[in-house]
Amino acid sequence: MRNRWKAPLVLGPLLGVLLAGAPASAAVDNWVTVGSDRADPLTESQGLASVEVPAGQPNRYTGIGTIPVGVSSRGWNHVGDPDALSGYYIEPYQRDSGSAKMYRVQAPGGAWSEYVHALEPGEALNNSFAAISPDGRWMVTGEWGTMSRLLVFPAPGLNPATSPSTNLPYASAIRLDRPVRDVQGCDFASATRLLCSSDDPAGTLLGITKPLLQIDLAAALSGVDVAGTVTALRQLPLQSGCGGTFEVQGIDYDRRDGTLRVIVMSPSICVLFDSKTWRFVRGPQP
């Protein structure tokens, strides 16, 4: 697939700084907290994905304990928030240094493949999440820090233009109207709406620390840049027996029943005991 980007990626952080003073978008938060499940710090601490195909499969989680030895021994020592669609499952990986990031893909038959992406000029090494568009053609992925775009690649494995033997190319960007900080995960709620979890500790960009974000796209992804409107809906739950700094992690929207799940790791020693995957459902519109 031809590299179709229209502006240097390095402009993203600069635009984020310039836009930081603008007022945040306003929207009604109608996500109702309905419960939580303990998140294991070794195997459920980075992200999760609901699996629609085959039917009846449990949610899949990532953490440092889920990285295969054969993968970590080659330097891919951090796994992010995964996603799944049509029997395909994608995990994002990064190294401590280098000029590439990797997506590990399991096909419906169970076989694994690795798709490596060579960094574009100005692209951060971080590889926080993978979010597959509902049509299976595109994958949204993210970095770290303050950014004014999300990156779009052809979805490895699902998009027939991709191959493990060639570079996974950059296709386009979601150009955000507001900068976002430390986005840990995103998932598609529809073809034109993403729900994202942010570990933003400051709250200076959107007025909320550790927010649940909604990003509305001007059009469904098609391989060209698209505008995205950012809304901070609410602060994610920060509840623990320990005081200190929580870490918001991955997110999943389960299209089978409309349940939204977000992982929040507890501070200090309580990370071992009461870290949680929070569950939300959409409440009635006011």
Residue 12 belongs to a domain: no
pLDDT confidence of residue 54: 87
Residue 13 belongs to a domain: no
In terms of residue numbers, what domain contains 237? Answer: 24-282
pLDDT digits (tens, 9 = 90+) for 69-112: 999 999 999 999 999 999 999 999 999 999 999 999 999 999 99
Cβ(101)–Cβ(117) under 8 Å?
A: yes
pLDDT digits (tens, 9 = 90+) for 139-183: 999 999 999 999 999 999 999 999 999 999 999 999 999 999 999
Share of the chain above pLDDT 70, in %: 90
Closest among 220, 262, 246, 211 to 50, alpha carbons compared? 262
User: Exposure of 119 by Cβ count < 10 A (0-12 exposed, 13-18 middle, 19+ buried)?
Assistant: middle
How many folded domains does the chain comprise? 1
Q: Is the pTM of this model over 0.75?
A: yes
Residue 4 belongs to a domain: no
Residue 170 belongs to a domain: yes
Residue 6 belongs to a domain: no
Residue 9 belongs to a domain: no
Residue 1 belongs to a domain: no
Q: What is the CATH number of the domain that holds 237?
A: 2.120.10
Residue 199 belongs to a domain: yes
